[in-house]
Amino acid sequence: MCGIVGYVGFRDVSDFLLEGLHRLEYRGYDSAGIAVMSGDEIVVRKRAGRVGELSQFVKDNPVKGKIGIGHTRWATHGATTDENSHPHYGGNGEVAIVHNGVIENYDSLRRKLQQLGYVFKSQTDTEVIAHMIAHHLAEQMKLEESEPSVESCLRAVNLTIDRLKGTFGLCVLFRDCPDTVIAARSGSPLVIGVGKDEYFLASDASPLIGYTKDVVYLADNEVVVLQPTGMKIAHRTTGSVRPSIQTLDQVSADIDLGDYPHYMLKEIFEQPTTIENALRGRLDEEEATAVFGGLNITAQQLRTIDRVVLTACGTSWHAGLVGEYLLEEFARIPTEVEYASELRYRNPPMGDRTLVFSITQSGETADTLAAMRECKRKGHPTLSICNVVGSTIAREADGGIYLHAGPEIGVASTKAFTSQVTVLTLLALFLGRMRHLSYPAGKRIIKQLKAMPEKIEEALKCHDRIQEIAAKYCGFDNFLYLGRLYNFPVALEGALKLKEISYVHAEGYPAAEMKHGPIALVDEKTPSFFIVPRGGIQPKVISNMEEVKARKGAVIAVACEGDEEVARIADDVVFVPDVEEYLQPLVCAIPLQLFSYHVALMRGCNVDRPRNLAKSVTVE
Ligand code: F6R
């Protein structure tokens, strides 16, 4: 949540900052701003609204310089006004800062600063940091009777962050140290791009693509001083850190829209490829199992595991539910799926042989990170299933599996979900083959997995049909999504997709639970989406469809190609390819993703930037 950029070097900094903010806009889009070292002052341009509006504002009011910082905001403290937009000045313009995170003790700090005479122009927690840095700098200058130096600026930052409670990724400009940017992180991500006589800084690597391939991921409690001539990183307790430079393997095409009107649609249509990428190099046909490079855990340890905990939020949590069913069916390991936001504060009994997986697209979700750290503290091996390479969760986990789905930019998660389910299927195969799963069963799973990219391609052919269905139902304000077993999480996911981008109320339920309450909602104004592909208990779900029809509720069904019985009962049907039950979430998710996309478009919603949301939830 919130995106930060920074630059020191020789380029026209406004251009880089604005382009970077465009690329980070998915992290928050309530307001945006930049601060540029221009001559001997820091000039701020900021605006409530999208980065596009800021770009226009900067075009009309240009600001030149070669050192600067920028921010795109997801509001936490204070409404989305120009004043609350970042950057914020501290003191009388001696510093300017941008901040991602939440300062929990800001109120008491604010009162102390007000007593000292600092005047606040915003309602944000961030302005407290700005004034505190300015204050500590001024205090030192008084003592030393000298002009600010890089050392004194750094000391002012460190003295300030020592007093902050909460999370932050922050980036600071100093009027009197005009060639310097200082950045620090505690809980909110920052990555540094290393160029020749220039350094870049951002909340994630996307603004750096096309500028440099050499990156350094700042760790928690590290502070970096960037100047065109070099960078110095120090850990707040252990001192100087030798930067570990890693290679960024993303290319511009990964973040380009191409011919698609929206990232969400592009990402939905990427799924045949992303599933193939999740499988690549991980199928061992000889041994009828899966192979993973980075688990960092021995086969012997894995054999002794007697419980798995999957922890995640949102869509990733839904993928975890599919994972629970897969792991219990194939590996026969008792598995629980925990909301990370709950697990972080709960203390469930977890034995020595419990393995914890954090499932996350971004690798930065604050709750998932905190839950993982809590489990680590208690000595459990913690692994991640993550998309973003080098993200905090991927780095802090003992080991893990990358999705290799490429950047997911649309705020609604689509391709990450199917990649997570694919990886969880591989994991169930892998752990299953260490235990009870037979060689022929392993062979069969591999064969079916290999066919999935093609099956997804076929499932995507429902696009036209889904558009017709969306046109028919886009005016309805309430939906039920119903499915059973492997398709119960798909029902939850379909409902979440519709809610988040169309702002239409939708509830996901196990189809059979409907009669225990939700059926009271059914009437001619509440259509139900049934996920009802062929399988053992399909007849039971068909009975549930009949129950809805009997109460005048419209039924839209996702069914297997050629299923005449479902087609006869449902008001509208969309067909997907017939696959084994445990793979049905992969094909059945596709029409639901497309449905929410088209309903959102038809209702005039911003598909890639839905209101109130941000892609990466780095606050609690
Ligand atoms: C929904 C969505 C969110 C995320 C959730 C977890 O479309 O995107 O529900 O799934 O915020 O995010 P990650 O997977 O990045 O931890």
Beta bridge partners of 506: 479
Class of domain 3-254: alpha beta
Q: Return the residue whose CA atom lies nearest to atom 5 of ligand 1.
A: 314
pLDDT at 148: 86
Of ligand 1's listed atoms, the one at least distance from the Cα of 617 is 11
The pLDDT-based confidence of 248 (bands split at 50, 70, 90) is confident
User: Is the beta carbon of 617 within 6 A of some atom in ligand 1?
Assistant: yes
The mean per-residue pLDDT over the stretch 279-287 comes to 97
Q: What is the pLDDT of residues 484-534, one digit of tens each?
A: 999 999 999 999 999 999 999 999 999 999 989 989 999 999 999 999 999
Domain locations in the chain as residue ranges: 3-254, 257-450, 460-608
Of ligand 1's listed atoms, the one at least distance from the Cα of 312 is 16
Of ligand 1's listed atoms, the one at least distance from the Cα of 362 is 15
- Flag whether pLDDT at 1 surpasses 80: no
CB atoms within 10 A of CB 123: 14
Same fold, 257-450 and 460-608: yes
User: Is the beta carbon of 324 within 6 A of some atom in ligand 1?
Assistant: no
pLDDT at 226: 98
Instruction: Tell me which CATH code domain 460-608 carries.
Output: 3.40.50.10490
Q: How far is the CA of 315 from the centre of ligand 1 (A)?
A: 5
- Flag whether pLDDT at 253 surpasses 80: no
What are the strands, taking DSSP E only, across 340-414?
A: 354-360, 382-386, 399-402
Q: What is the pLDDT of residues 456-493, one digit of tens each?
A: 999 999 999 999 999 999 999 999 999 999 999 999 99
Rounded Cα–Cα distance for residues 53 and 38 (Å):
22
Instruction: Tell me which CATH code domain 257-450 carries.
Output: 3.40.50.10490
Beta bridge partners of 68: 7, 36
pLDDT at 256: 86
User: Is the beta carbon of 387 within 6 A of some atom in ligand 1?
Assistant: no
User: Is the beta carbon of 413 within 6 A of some atom in ligand 1?
Assistant: yes
- Which residue among 313, 421, 498 has the greatest number of ligand 1 atoms within 8 angstroms of its CB, and so is best to mutate? 313
Helix (H) or strand (E) holding 77: none
Nearest to 268 by CA among 386, 410, 470: 410
Q: What is the pLDDT of residues 208-242, one digit of tens each?
A: 999 999 999 999 999 999 999 999 999 999 999 99
**What are the structure tokens assigned to 372, written together?**
């993982």
Q: What is the pLDDT of residues 25-38, one digit of tens each?
A: 888 889 999 999 99
Q: How many residues does the chain have?
A: 620
Rounded Cα–Cα distance for residues 319 and 215 (Å):
30
Rounded Cα–Cα distance for residues 125 and 109 (Å):
9
Q: Return the residue whose CA atom lies nearest to atom 3 of ligand 1.
A: 314
